[in-house]
Amino acid sequence: MQEADIKFLEESFKKYYFEHFDLIRVPERTSEREFGFQKFNSGMTRHIQIKDDKELHLLFMQNVPSDVYCSNAYYSFPNLPMNEKDWKEADLIFDIDAKDLNLMCRANHTVSICNECNEISKDSKQCRKCNSTKLEKKSLPCKNCIDQSKIQVEKLSEILNEDFAIDKENIQVYFSGNEGFHVYVYNSQFQEIGSRERSELTDYISLRGAIPETFGMRKFKQDRAAFPDFNEKGWRGRFSKYIFGSKSKRSKIVTELLTNGYSSFQKTLDDVSENIGVKIDPNVTMDIHRIFRLPGSINSKSGLTKIHCKDIVKFDPYTEASFLSDDMIEVLANSPIEFQLKNKKFGPYNNEKVAVPTFAAVYMICKKLAKIA
């Protein structure tokens, strides 16, 4: 990234933090958490202890970070090296990202940036200019990406509430600032469990590793009564609704499942898992030492804010998470894909000088699709 681009981003981010520090959600038990930050074109600084919002505000003003992070874990000594922190417990956090949903639409809004000659083209496997295969992918998520991610959030929230009796007020959803959502669970019975138990929890939520016997299919001594009823709770009930469709079809479909046999049922179960299991990143949830993007801070991959979603159904990240200035700036834009921010459409641009609002310029520069003219 060019020096002029970095300076422009730093100025834009600094102005945001000066004007919108009220959006920063200083977490409870602040002094027990580890903080970290990155600056543009520099590495991560970790193991920082912050006592209150005044110290946090000072960190923003003194460093102008590209990204700011905070641990979900609570420590006795958050400023010490990892093996000396004395881990106490950690909030439960799930990551739902559009890139993990295998959506067909992604091919239409993903660009390839050649690491050899910087040529930009729509999603491809080889640079059309120098034939290099060293390409960096950048996605400009569309409405379908967000909508499909929301569906996963709603499925996850339902399981947490119905299967694990977690109160809805202890489940908070945040737009990540780029391609998905972070779901936080506070004050639950899972606060003190370790990585292995959290991994098992993600397996349950994803319906990964499920065995046919759980849903009534047996290798020997088959029993029609072992198959779940339509109105059962938990995964057996969800399985019934997905496979049977209605109570009246249950008997016929159970007969078909028994006729097709155990191996065929396992394939059916894999299909069920793919379609109704929640698509979360298990590595994120099981990491009890991870530091997560701080709510209210800007995501340097997009220039959008990680923001709390009060109503996930109505939430529109491209209007509600875009807080940067409307001041016009001239950039050299090379974005082959149209995008929309604050109800305005931009692009496509073919390596051309254009005057755009700061929020759009930052978005393109963060995506490596523009630079200051």
Q: Is residue 119 part of a domain?
A: no
- Report residue 69 as tokens: 């992070």
Quote the pLDDT of residue 121.
85
Q: Provide the CATH number for the domain around residue 64.
A: 3.90.920.10
360 domain-assigned? no
Any domain includes 236: yes
Q: Are residues 255 and 164 in the same domain?
A: no
Residuewise pLDDT in 10s, the chain (373 residues):
899 999 999 999 999 999 999 999 888 999 999 999 999 988 899 999 999 988 999 999 899 999 999 999 999 999 999 999 999 999 999 999 999 999 999 989 999 998 888 888 887 788 888 888 889 899 999 999 999 999 999 999 999 999 999 999 999 999 999 999 999 999 899 999 999 999 999 999 999 999 999 999 998 888 999 999 988 999 999 999 999 999 999 999 999 999 999 999 999 999 999 999 999 999 999 999 999 999 999 999 999 999 999 999 999 999 999 999 999 999 999 999 999 999 999 989 999 999 999 999 999 999 999 999 9
Q: Identify whether residues 267 and 169 lie together within a single domain.
A: no
Tell me the two tokens of residue 152: 């996963």
Last residue within a domain, chosen from 217, 243, 276: 276
Is the domain of 174 the same as that of 222?
no
281 is known as an active-site residue: yes
SS3 per residue for 20-48: CHHHCCCCCCHHHCEEEEECCCCCEEEEE
Residues 178 and 42 in one domain: yes
Which residue in the list 281, 287, 311, 316 is annotated as catalytic? 281
Co-location of 54 and 22 in the same domain: yes
Q: Any catalytic annotation for residue 97? A: yes
Q: Which residues contact 92 (CB under 8 A, 6 or more apart)?
A: 72, 184, 185, 188, 190, 191, 198, 201, 285
* Statement to judge: residues 148 and 254 lie in one domain: no
Q: Is 95 a catalytic residue?
A: yes
- Evaluate whether residue 245 is within a structural domain: yes
Same domain, 24 and 40: yes
Same domain, yes or no: 179 and 58: yes
How many structural domains are present in the chain?
A: 2
Catalytic member of 5, 67, 97, 287: 97
- Type of residue numbered 12: S
- The verdict on 85 and 71 lying in the same domain is yes
Tokens of 93: 């956090």
Verdict on whether the full-model pTM lies above 0.85: yes
For residue 214, is it within any domain?
yes
**One domain for residues 59 and 9:** yes
**Domain of 168?**
3-101+142-203+281-324
Identify whether 332 is part of a domain.
no
Q: Are residues 159 and 62 in the same domain?
A: yes
Identify whether 120 is part of a domain: no
180 and 61 in a common domain: yes
Q: Is residue 341 part of a domain?
A: no
The catalytic position among 95, 123, 203, 270 is 95
